């Protein structure tokens, strides 16, 4: 009830800029959804809404996201660009009909790396998933494989947050790992 009252008081004056510190902390998930629907309505009415939150998944509701760790701004981007930043590009998951060795695949333009996740599962880091997917499928068929399924992998903001914060911490300690938790475990096809 207190959160609703605080939000109502902030809106009484019809501000063009609204800055809120953790407005959804301590409220139930249904009310949290309603609050974000109201923020969206305000945004559509031309109000700029700046929100701090400890609920990383709430980044899905935002046009742009700033990530602060240990007092430093470590990322500022749109949701999609932040995902690319965390993972090193867009990600495609492929499941093949039979076991396949990622090292046997020919080089594919736009594929930055590939990770063997299982005998029939491959994870590709690409610059553009829409362009790369048919080329990846063709490359798999060139080596005698078949594609059962392929889809673009969209990490949660919990995964994005973890990858960016981990990479930032490692950079601060002197190591310069590849961007992202997933990208760190990726090897190029041979």
pLDDT band, residue 70 (cuts 50/70/90): confident
Arithmetic mean of pLDDT, 159-172: 90
CATH number of the domain residue 49 falls in: 3.40.50.300
Q: Which residues form the domain of 61?
A: 2-79
Is 144 in a helix, a strand, or coil? coil
Number of domains the chain is built from = 2
pLDDT of residue 90: 92
pLDDT of residue 8: 73
Domain boundary among the residues 62, 79, 96 is at 79
Arithmetic mean of pLDDT, 153-177: 85
- Judgement on whether residues 112 and 188 belong to the same structural domain of the protein: yes
Whole-number average pLDDT of the chain: 86
139 pLDDT exceeds 90? yes
6 pLDDT exceeds 80? no
Least confident among 1-5, 68-72, 109-113: 1-5
Closest by CA to 172, choosing from 59, 90, 71, is 71
- Judgement on whether residues 61 and 84 belong to the same structural domain of the protein: no
Q: Are 114 and 124 in contact (CB under 8 A)?
A: yes
- Name residue 126's beta-bridge partners: 90, 111
- Judgement on whether residues 69 and 93 belong to the same structural domain of the protein: no
- Judgement on whether residues 158 and 100 belong to the same structural domain of the protein: yes
Query: What tokens appear for 94 in the block?
Result: 């492929």
What is the rounded distance in angstroms from the CA atom of residue 164 to the CA atom of residue 65?
13
- Judgement on whether residues 157 and 97 belong to the same structural domain of the protein: yes
pLDDT band, residue 184 (cuts 50/70/90): very low
- Judgement on whether residues 63 and 93 belong to the same structural domain of the protein: no
What is the rounded distance in angstroms from the CA atom of residue 111 to the CA atom of residue 133?
10
Angle between helix 2-11 and 29-44 (nearest 10): 10
pLDDT band, residue 182 (cuts 50/70/90): very low
pLDDT band, residue 11 (cuts 50/70/90): confident
CATH number of the domain residue 111 falls in: 3.30.70.1560
Domain boundary among the residues 57, 79, 101 is at 79
- Judgement on whether residues 65 and 158 belong to the same structural domain of the protein: no
- Judgement on whether residues 133 and 106 belong to the same structural domain of the protein: yes
- Judgement on whether residues 48 and 63 belong to the same structural domain of the protein: yes
190 pLDDT exceeds 50? no
- Judgement on whether residues 103 and 116 belong to the same structural domain of the protein: yes
Render pLDDT for 12-41 as a digit per residue (tens, 0 to 9).
778 899 898 888 888 888 988 988 998 999
What is the rounded distance in angstroms from the CA atom of residue 161 to the CA atom of residue 144?
38
77 pLDDT exceeds 60? yes
pLDDT of residue 67: 92
- Quick one: which H or E segment has residue 165? helix 157-172
183 pLDDT exceeds 60? no
Domain boundary among the residues 44, 79, 114 is at 79
- Judgement on whether residues 88 and 65 belong to the same structural domain of the protein: no
Closest by CA to 108, choosing from 125, 120, 93, is 125
- Judgement on whether residues 53 and 7 belong to the same structural domain of the protein: yes
């Amino acid at each position: 009830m207190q959160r609703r009252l605080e939000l109502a008081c902030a809106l009484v004056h019809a501000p063009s800029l609204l800055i809120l510190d953790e407005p959804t902390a301590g409220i139930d998930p249904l009310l949290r959804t309603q609050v974000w629907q109201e923020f969206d309505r305000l945004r559509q009415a031309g109000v700029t809404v700046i929100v701090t939150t400890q609920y990383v998944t709430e980044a899905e509701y935002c046009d742009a996201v700033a990530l602060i760790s240990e007092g430093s701004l470590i990322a500022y981007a749109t949701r999609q660009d932040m995902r690319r930043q965390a993972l090193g590009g867009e990600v495609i998951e492929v499941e093949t009909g039979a076991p396949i060795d990622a090292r046997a695949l020919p080089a594919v333009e736009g594929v930055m790396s590939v990770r063997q996740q299982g005998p029939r599962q491959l994870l590709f880091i690409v610059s553009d998933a829409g362009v790369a997917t048919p080329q990846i499928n063709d490359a798999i068929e060139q080596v005698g494989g078949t594609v059962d399924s392929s889809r673009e992998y969209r990490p949660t903001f919990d995964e994005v947050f973890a990858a960016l914060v981990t990479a930032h911490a490692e950079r601060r300690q002197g190591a310069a790992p590849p961007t992202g938790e997933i990208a760190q475990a990726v090897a190029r096809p041979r």
